[in-house]
Structure 1
Amino acid sequence: MGCGAGAVGRVGKERFYKQKNVANYIKDPLKRRIEHLSDEDLELERLFLGLRCDLGVGLEGLDSKKVQTLVEEKKCKVSNQRLVACDFFLADEIALWLT
């Protein structure tokens, strides 16, 4: 859930963007732009967001050879059946490579 000027949030398959301009946001805090997300969008977002934190992403559905390569190259580790990025700055690149 995104709250405040410039915030981005998601509920279900809808992502919404609040106004970035603070004065406009104050005038109409309920105004937002809505983007409808596909299943592919949601999967990519799951990877991006999961790899950007210590939680990581579940191994189910990931290419096991790619996971093995990431672990061998010390880009990621597997912890509690989840793939965790060793360097969060590489998380987006790793997510793209996994898709």
Structure 2
Amino acid sequence: MEQNNKKIGSKIFVPAVCIGLFTLLAAFFTKISPRVGMSVGVFVAVIILRIYSKSNTPSVFLKDCRRMMDVVGPLSMLPMLLAALGPYLQLQATLQLELLFMRLAWRYLP
């Protein structure tokens, strides 16, 4: 482990920078979605990590993904929940505003 640490050094940050770089390139310089750029960046990062160490097999990546999702699983659902509730809450706010206008009109208009 220590030998890998000395061998790789600060190059370990290259895959993470690669993901962000591909996302920004896709967002600003192409007409494709930044999500596609991020996906391409992830695949390039996996290839770079595979080059760094032959022990990085696909099963290692899948186990690490599983472990991370076990840790942040419920938190990763929060944005989806808020996105699903957004239109509902907007509709409720609109209905409350309309109800307020109806009450004001009923009270003050002859």
Query: Which band: TM-score by shorter chain?
Result: under 0.3
Would you tell me which structure has more strand in proportion to its own residues?
1
For CA contacts below 8 A with separation 6 or more, give which structure has more relative contact order.
1
Structure label with greater radius of gyration: 2
TM-score (norm 1): 0.26
Would you tell me which structure has more helix in proportion to its own residues?
2
